[in-house]
Structure 1
Amino acid sequence: MGKQAQVAEGARYRKASKIIGIDINPDKFALGKPMGITDFVNPKDHEKPTHEVIRQLTGGGVDFSFECSGNLDVLREAFQSTHDGWGLTVMLGIHPTPRMLPLHPMEFFDGRRLVASIFGDSAVVWAPGEPFVIQKVQVEPPQKLEVRIKILFTSICHTDLSAWKGENELQRVYPRILGHEAAGVVESVGEGVEDLRSGDHVVPIFNGECGDCTHCRNPNTNLCARYRVDPFKSVMVADGGTRFSAVDGASGVRRPVYHFLNTSTFAEFTVLDAACVAKIPPAAPLERMCLLSCGISTGVGAAWNTAQVTSGSTVAVFGLGAVGLAVAEGARYRKASQIIGVDINPDKFVLGKQMGITDFVNPKDHDKSVHEVIRELTGGGVDYSFECAGNLDALREAFLSTHDGWGLTVMLGIHPTPRMLPFHPMELFDGRRLVASVFGDFKGKSQLLSFAEKCMHGNGEDKINLDGFISHELPFEDINKAFELLEQGKALRCMLHL
């Protein structure tokens, strides 16, 4: 009763009212009771089939049945033990046999459903700052309006680094599967999913788009009322539960494993709301499209959609990580005449030149404030500034570096601090403006496909330089090394191959 006991424990945790255990070993009932099993059926004790016994016990059949033994005859009994109209059978046992499923197609027209629960390798973090553990995680089938994806490539962002460390107390939900920048293939879809099917090439998007709410129908925002990004949410929208479970190495008990940013991509298989999955062209290279899940879309989109950088304009970018360099790349594509990069790491200028940066300002090299340096460089200030470091002091410098009368500052960095904005209301009356950008103001499902196509085509200055953002490529099992590289400032984007 290994898997069976773990399923029972999960059902007990979810407060199921009746949990029936089936086994030919009567000793298993005593073991199962602490896990939540309320009734025990030994097939040897009954002349009638097990499914008939269960239907009598439950008044028509159970809502859910789980086949954990890997026996096709038992699978048939499990399927028939569920209630017609809505019963769901989940296969967990492995069936090493040439036999086909012992079910007739007509049996499914009674409303019963059959799915398989998958076990895949995932990088689980069990406590803040602890090393990731690569282990087998049970990944439930997708429920209504959900999608299960096989991840092929995933990369690491500073948001993952912050969540791994548990820097924000409200994000300290463990065990958890982090990751939100990835690309893969649809493995299966849940009920009601019509725009995706098995085999589709997709990227997960942390800022979802249902397409039906007031926000999604408004062209002026990319924030969905139901599926917008929420760094503190750790469960699925449909039922407030998780689709992952794993055995705790310390206790040997199977526990729920929580989600992250609507995506959880540090996993061989993951389950997402369909609203958080964007289809990409089948010819697109998945290892490059992975970058569109977060950093590239966020940075390029901030230049294109949020600021709407124009040809001949001047730009300052504060913080030259992947997002900041993506802003520069977007401004270069829009033919900005001057793009000033601001960073305390002088090595970033060499990399930044590839993305269009024309001038570099290192705050350590100047006695005066950065905004004064930039005003001198530009004859009064830039047209657009972008704060990508998540630092409120840098944000103030970015704001003051813009030209009075029309300057626009865009916030992209996340500020995990109780501090308020370091601005006086009167400073806004000089005509400078301050806005924030989420996912580059792209509507993920409806607009990412065209952005992906744009990234695939073009030459020279008319092509988005995706290759330049990938500094390292490692196997998935080296995820802890990848986090070290990012934390030490040695990696821009580290691509993990699953």
Structure 2
Amino acid sequence: MSTTGKVIKCKAAVAWEDGKPLTIEEVEVAPPQEHEVRIKIVATGVCHTDLHFLYTSHRKGGFPCILGHEGAGIVESVGPGVTKFKPGDKVIPVFVSQCGECKNCRSPRSNLCDNSWWSKQQYDGKTEPLGRITCKGRRIIQFEGLGTFAEYSIVYEIAVAKIDDDAPLDKVCLLGCGVSTGYGAALNSAKVQPGSTCAVFGLGAVGLAAVMGCQAAGASRIIAVDINKDKSSKAKEFGATDFVNPNDHDKPIQEVLSSLTDGGVDYSFECVGNVELMVSALEACNKSWGVSVIVGWNNTEMLSVSPVQMIGGRRWTGTVFGGWKSVESVPKLVADYMAKRIKLDEFITHTLPLEGVNDAFDLMTAGKSIRTILKM
């Protein structure tokens, strides 16, 4: 029986308040309205940003919420005015949309979109997405405009990328955030040059993807940095040439890296979201031409650094979604995976049902997982 035009009742993992475990609830997903797409979520990755929001948001009006922003699924139905998608299409919803019409979308210098929920929310702190999902009579917010910890979700059409019909959704879902972000940080944001030296701080999925991007760009030396010694072999699987554990040294990590590289690396990437580590990553760069990219997410603390660190020519920059223009780039990244040009399977350490979402968070905080996939 067709569900088009009808309310769909399904399961979702709902965060009712900050800092509390998610609970599996029956939710009601309304039919899509104009320029909206309703998606049957097949699989979703569990990203550290979901955990960060749950335990550090403290934002009034931020709950109840369906977390999840690294999903993949199949179009169930579309709203009026939608012409690029049809029921049955395989898609990846993206938290940085691409309308193709705003100033940022028209510029090759940015991958942000003035019309995306993400951009608006960062600037006004108020914009909340959609409101098409309810539970126990309450409107449920969809995290980053997506909310993929649910069997069905509704997304604006400008935040949906159509992908290869043969793509395995439980693998390519990782291209909705973590892998694309780290990989693009090296290729797009830093523009790593062949023969260069790089340092990647933090070896979760994003950091390992940055390592992979540095290798793809032709870096000759890639130093992976993490306090978890068990990450060493995994980093080398993705292309790292060296592994450094800060706990093995009695001086600051930036000094260690500087001594290892005759004055600092050409490029560094902070993939944790720790402001002190961001400064360390900057100072680990060559003082004359080094480029340091902030990849890790942190919206609760301020950065502080002496201008002397920058005046000689070092550059500090950041990246959102690895600089990829989402709707046009994600299908190409899927094609690269299908052609074995980039890794995805190697990031997946655990696969759980939706009911295991809290276990996935536990695995992450214990440092026992790279990426856990939830299958609906």
Letter in 2 for 1:161: L
Question: Which structure is richer in relative contact order (CA contacts within 8 A, separation 6 or more)?
Answer: 2
Structure 1 residue runs of 5 or longer lacking an equivalent are: 1-94, 101-113, 248-253
> Is this contact kept in 2: 1:128–1:172, CA < 8 A?
no
Cα distance in 1 between the residues matched to 2:254 and 2:12: 45
| 1:214 aligns to 2:103 (yes or no) | yes
Question: Any idea what the Cα deviations from partners look like across 1:4-47, whole Å, max 9, x if unmatched?
Answer: xxxxxxxxxxxxxxxxxxxxxxxxxxxxxxxxxxxxxxxxxxxx
Return the offset for 1:317. 0.4
Contact 1:235 1:258 in 2 (8 A): yes
Q: Which runs of 5 or more residues in structure 2 are unaligned? A: none
Instruction: Please tell me the residue identity of whatever aligns with 1:489.
Output: G
Q: How many residues align?
A: 371
TM-score between the two structures when normalised by the length of structure 1: 0.72
Counterpart code for 1:123: A
Distance 1:270 1:417 in 2: 28
Amino acid at match of 1:334: A
Q: Find the partner of 1:177 among 48, 59, 66.
A: 66
Paired residue secondary structure (1:472): strand
Q: Residue 437 of structure 1 is aligned with which of 319, 322, 339?
A: 319
**AA of the residue aligned to 1:151:** I
2:345 counterpart residue number: 467
1:423 paired residue among 305, 318, 330: 305
Q: Is residue 477 of structure 1 aligned with residue 348 of structure 2?
A: no
The C-alpha deviation readout for 1:143-199, integer Å capped at 9, x for no partner, is 11111000000110111111222x122266221111000110011111111111111
1:228–1:316 distance in 2 versus 1, CA, 3 Å: farther
Secondary structure in 1 matching 2:236: helix
Question: What letter is aligned with 2:309?
Answer: E
> Is 1:450 aligned with 2:332?
yes
1:205, 1:171 → 2: CA distance? 24
Q: What aligned pairs does 1:41-190 form with structure 2 within 5 A after superposition?
A: 115-165=5-55, 167-170=56-59, 173-190=62-79
- The equivalent of 1:320 in structure 2 is 203
Q: Note if contact 1:340-1:361 (Cα within 8 Å) is conserved in structure 2.
A: yes
Measured in 1, the distance between the counterparts of 2:192 and 2:76 equals 39
Aligned to 2:138, the other structure's residue is in SS state strand
Report the residue type matching 1:484 in the other structure: D
Deviations for 1:432-482, whole angstroms, at most 9, x for unmatched residues? 000000000000011211121112114xxxx21211100101112222211
Amino acid at match of 2:345: D
Paired with 1:117 and 1:264, the residues of 2 have a C-alpha distance of: 17
Where does residue 374 of structure 2 map in the other structure?
A: 496
Matches within 5 A, 1:134-283: 134-165=24-55, 167-170=56-59, 173-227=62-116, 229=118, 230=121, 235-236=128-129, 241-247=130-136, 254-283=137-166
Counterpart contact for 1:234–1:258, Cα < 8 Å: no
Separation in 1 of the partners of 2:364 and 2:287? 37
**1:381 alignment partner in structure 2:** 264
Q: Residue type matched to 1:136 in 2?
A: E
- Aligned positions of 1:321-400 closer than 5 A: 321-400=204-283
In structure 2, how many angstroms separate the alpha carbons of the residues matched to 1:340 and 1:193?
A: 46
Match of 1:284 in 2: 167
- Secondary structure of residue in 2 paired with 1:346: coil
Identity rate, percent: 45
What is the alpha-carbon distance in structure 1 between the residues aligned to residue 323 and residue 169 of structure 2?
A: 22
By how many angstroms is 1:233 displaced? 5.8
Question: Following TM superposition, by how much is the alpha carbon of 1:315 offset from its aligned partner in structure 2, in angstroms?
Answer: 0.4
Distance of 1:155 and 1:178 partners within structure 2: 11
Compared with structure 1, are the counterparts of its residues 372 and 171 closer, same or farther at alpha carbon in structure 2 (3 Å cutoff)?
A: farther
Q: Match for 1:321: what amino acid?
A: G
Q: Is the CA contact (8 Å cut-off) linking 1:215 and 1:224 kept in structure 2?
A: yes
Verify the 8 A CA contact 1:281 1:449 in the aligned structure 2: yes
The verdict on how the C-alpha distance between 1:180 and 1:257 changes in structure 2, with shifts beyond 3 A counting, is same
8 Å CA contact retained: 1:163, 1:171: no
TM-score by length of 2: 0.95
